[in-house]
Structure 1
Amino acid sequence: MEIYNSNNFKIGLKIIFENEPCVIENSEFIKPGKGQAFTRVKLRKLLTGQLIDRSFRSTEYLKQADIIDVKLLYLYQDHYHGYFLNKKNFEQFYVEKKILFNKLQWLIEQHSYMATLWNNQIISIIPKNFINLEVVKTTPGVKGDSVNNNTKVAVLKNGAIIKVPVFIQIGEIIKVDTRSNQYICRIKK
């Protein structure tokens, strides 16, 4: 395992801080006129997403995190876990649903996703930014309703509930932004 001196911190470097994997989001080397040089760093904890501001003296060092990003095939889920497969070596991984948070609703079986592994355990799955899904349930739009209310609630094929424009009907395919859970546009068949 590599060790990094604080003078060599770079954006995107994955390190172990307080026994958790972190990624450096911002790094600024400061050499004051008086005193010892230091590096001001913004770290994001990969397990919780927490952002930390911290200064390190030039004599401090941190260990490199054993983090890799790999493409995995999403297989299925049960009550407690989501299951994935590495198509290169057929190694199977499982991850607790609480780690996937709200990303689980955007995972489609038999599709590939980027996964972040730490010590050979999945700590994060990155769904695609945009996916196309069918609307399976929504209220019908009423003529003149767009004056007061221009959105309504719709249930998608994967069970997700989002707001859509009033003109969207059951059976239509829509494009959804998975980062913000928002409707983007209607897809023509």
Structure 2
Amino acid sequence: MAKSFYPWHFQPNLNLDTWPSKPPTPRNTTGRLKAAHGNFIQYPTFNIMAIVATNLKKGQCIKYEGETGVVLNLEHRTPGKGNALIAATIRSFQTGKTKTIRFASSEKVDIVETDRQKLEFSYSDPAGFHFMDLTTYETITLPTTMMEDHVDYLKEGLEVEVLFIEGNAVTVTLPATVELEVTESSEGLKGDTANNPTKPATLETGKIVQVPLFIKQGDVLKINTEDGSYLGRA
């Protein structure tokens, strides 16, 4: 049976420098009980491990002040008087806001378990984007709100990586490049080489990119998923 994930909290982008406010998605995992409360579905959390603040590392996900967030930066401070402190810059998954939290160096901090899964894109429909879990071969459905920044690069069989935190899908990461076929491209006009060294080409996903004049319909191109630029023929 297909599994569906629906928005819950605000999600970050995996790139810590850019953090759009989009909701992550609760993962409906086999054997995990769920309880519906109004329009929300709550799931039990993963195991949480406590460590002393001095052992915190950038990129770790922690519990703090009733929220869950990722550590963006750490600064060890030793005041003139008193105990050493750890100043942690944290970005909340719930709100997307950044805050600096100060911990005593020996203070216990709860580390949240994370999980990364490889999923293979199958198809999309009004219900969402359907993927196959490459480990269990189950169908997993992610909502359009989670995939809207990636639709230009999705084709059947593409593998993506999904980050889960506390059982919730938080981000989807595409491969650095994808190979897409040109479905439409006009012929370059004589003399265009000097004035217009590139021309638009429509790819199989509907994305339009600027390509060299020699590119023609049917060519398979390598596209950078970071900025959508043409890298060459595959």
- TM normalised by structure 1 equals 0.81
Q: Report the alpha carbon displacement of residue 86 of structure 1 after superposing the two structures with TM.
A: 1.9
Q: 1:143 to 1:3 in 2, by over 3 A?
A: same
Q: Secondary structure at the match of 1:90?
A: coil
3-state secondary structure, aligned to 1:99: helix
Q: Which amino acid aligns with 1:52?
A: T
SS in 2 for 1:2: strand
Which residue is 1:111 aligned to?
158
CA offset at residue 128 of structure 1? 1.0
Quote the residue 1:127 is aligned against: 174
Please tell me whether residue 56 in structure 1 is matched to residue 102 in structure 2.
yes
Contact 1:106 1:178 survives alignment (8 Å): yes
Displacement, 1:152? 2.2
Q: Which deviates the most, 86-95 or 37-46? A: 37-46
Query: Given the alignment of the two structures, is residue 145 of structure 1 paired with residue 187 of structure 2, yes or no?
Result: no
1:98 pairs with one of 138, 142, 145: 145
- What is the rounded CA distance, in whole Å, between the counterparts of 2:82 and 2:112 in structure 1? 30
On the 8 A contact 1:28/1:39 being kept in 2, the answer is yes
Q: Tell me the amino acid that sits aligned with residue 124 of structure 1.
A: T
Structure 1 residue runs without a partner (length 5+): none
For residues 86-118 of structure 1, give each alpha carbon's deviation from its aligned partner in whole angstroms, at most 9, with x where no partner exists: 232234322111112311332222333211123
Q: How far 1:135 sits from its partner (Å)?
A: 1.0
**Unpaired segments of 5 or more residues in structure 2?**
1-47
Structure 2: how far apart are the matches of 1:157 and 1:127? 17
Residue 181 of structure 1 is matched in structure 2 by: 228
1:75 and 2:122 aligned = yes
1:91 and 1:20 map into 2 onto residues whose CA distance is 31
Q: Secondary structure at the match of 2:149?
A: helix
Once the two structures are TM-superposed, the CA of residue 19 in structure 1 deviates from its matched residue by 5.5
The yes-or-no answer on 1:136 pairing with 2:170 is no
Partners of 2:146 and 2:81 in 1: CA distance: 46
Note if contact 1:133-1:174 (Cα within 8 Å) is conserved in structure 2: yes
Q: Secondary structure at the match of 1:146?
A: helix
TM-score (norm. length: structure 2) = 0.67
Structure with larger RCO (C-alpha < 8 A, sep 6+):
2
Q: Superposition pairs for residues 15-26 of structure 1, below 5 Å?
A: 15-17=62-64, 21-26=68-73
Contact 2:53 2:109 (C-alpha < 8 Å) held by counterparts: yes
State the alpha-carbon separation in 1 of the partners of residues 190 and 93 from structure 2.
48
The structure in which a higher percent of residues are strand is 1
1:18 is displaced (CA, Å) by 6.1
1:40 to 87, 104, 126: 87
Q: Pairwise CA RMSD of aligned residues?
A: 2.7
Query: Take 2:129 and 2:146, find their aligned partners in 1: how far apart are those partners?
Result: 10
* 1:57 aligned partner, one-letter code: F
d(CA) in 2 for partners of 1:108, 1:118: 26
Distance in 1 between the 2:181 and 2:165 partners? 35
